Structure 1
Amino acid sequence: MVLVIEIFLVVILAICVITDVKSRKIYNKVVYPCLIAVFIYHFSSGGLEALIHSFLGFLIGLALLLLPYILGGMGAGDVKLLGLIGAFKGGAFVFQSFLYIALIGGVIAVGIIIFRSGVLKSFFYFLYSLKNGVRDTSIVSKGSLTATYPYGVPIAAGVVLSIVADKGFFL
């Protein structure tokens, strides 16, 4: 039955990634019904103890992205999606996923800074200016540091990586 839950989770993540990439939104009409279904599933399959475990996972998932949301670096849909993941798989899983999510998100952010800002071109100009005795410190443009991207992508990738890691394929 765990495999069915994981397949359902991956399908929900795929839907959220598509909507996040297309419209930069993770819709409540996807997250809330799934959340209710997950709570009902856990209660019916494991009783009150499983429901509490699921609810604690939900709270942990929300808490992990609450500060970035408050600081304006994250959308509310991303926070609710991580809460949903916690409700699906529990607190330990959502925390492990969060570590993968943060790493993947950081790599994507660095990639965006490099490719959107023309930092490679600036870096070569910087090296050229050092060689010729001129000091140029404008490697990264200010606009590239405020660039955003749909965080549903690293959330989904981190969760899939966690599922694969739990199955013992690596790590």
Structure 2
Amino acid sequence: MSNNSIIWWTFLFTISCIICYQDITRRTISNRMCLIVLIICIFLVIKNGNYSSLYYSVIIFLGGFILFIKKVIAAGDVKLISSFFIAINQNYQLLTFTIILLAGGVISIVLLIHKIINKENTTMTVPYGVPICIGCLFGIAASL
């Protein structure tokens, strides 16, 4: 990983922390943040010459759009994961998905335990921007 790549990855990390905070507190992922992630990831793709991941990012976006229409996943999550996946080498995409799913499962279990302990009858949603950021930052670090 070159010094320049570390700087861009650190910038992505900072943006990801902001996204996680907003997703936890407001349950939204802003379009502006997704656009910033997209621009940085496109820059990393151009810098590294990893254009094969663009195809998979479009597939993820289209599949996520279908899941959004069926109300399985939120639109912000789809835009965020599609933006990140542009910069993830195809060799690390399955690993990245696995990390996202495992982190999302851990967060879901923690929220369920919290709900059971506090005997809450409210509907809880999982802030899936958090596991997306965690998994994708690992995938991008591996791809650099």
Deviation at 1:24, TM superposition (A): 1.1
- The residue number in structure 2 matching 1:157 is 134
1:104-143 correspondence runs (5 A):
104-118=103-117, 143=121
Deviation at 1:161, TM superposition (A): 4.7
Higher RCO (CA 8 Å, separation ≥ 6 residues): 2
Deviation at 1:10, TM superposition (A): 1.2
Q: Secondary structure at the match of 2:10?
A: helix
Q: Secondary structure at the match of 2:51?
A: helix
Residue pair 2:41, 2:87 contacting (<8 A) in 1 also: yes
Deviation at 1:160, TM superposition (A): 4.2
- The residue number in structure 1 matching 2:82 is 83
Q: Distance in 2 between matches of 1:69 and 1:115?
A: 27
The two structures have a TM-score, normalised by structure 2, of: 0.73
1:30-85, Cα deviation, whole Å (9 max, x unpaired): 21243234324533x35xxx363342242254357456434323211111111111
- The residue number in structure 2 matching 1:71 is 70
1:18-29 correspondence runs (5 A):
18-29=21-32
1:128-168, Cα deviation, whole Å (9 max, x unpaired): xxxxxxxxxxxxx9x57x5212111122232345567x49x
Structure 2 unaligned residues grouped into runs of 5+: none
Give me the identity figure in percent: 27
The residue type paired with residue 97 of structure 1 is T
Structure 1 unaligned residues grouped into runs of 5+: 122-140
Residue pair 1:58, 1:90 contacting (<8 A) in 2 also: no
- The residue number in structure 1 matching 2:51 is 52
Highest CA radius of gyration, 1 or 2? 1
Q: Secondary structure at the match of 1:89?
A: coil
Which of these residues, 4, 8, 20, is aligned with residue 5 of structure 1? 8
Please give the root-mean-square deviation of Cα atoms over the aligned residues, in Å: 3.1
Q: Which runs of 4+ in 1 moved over 6 A?
A: none
- The worse-fitting range, judged by mean Cα deviation, of 28-37 and 8-17 is 28-37
Q: Distance in 1 between matches of 2:85 and 2:128?
A: 17
Q: Distance in 2 between matches of 1:8 and 1:155?
A: 16
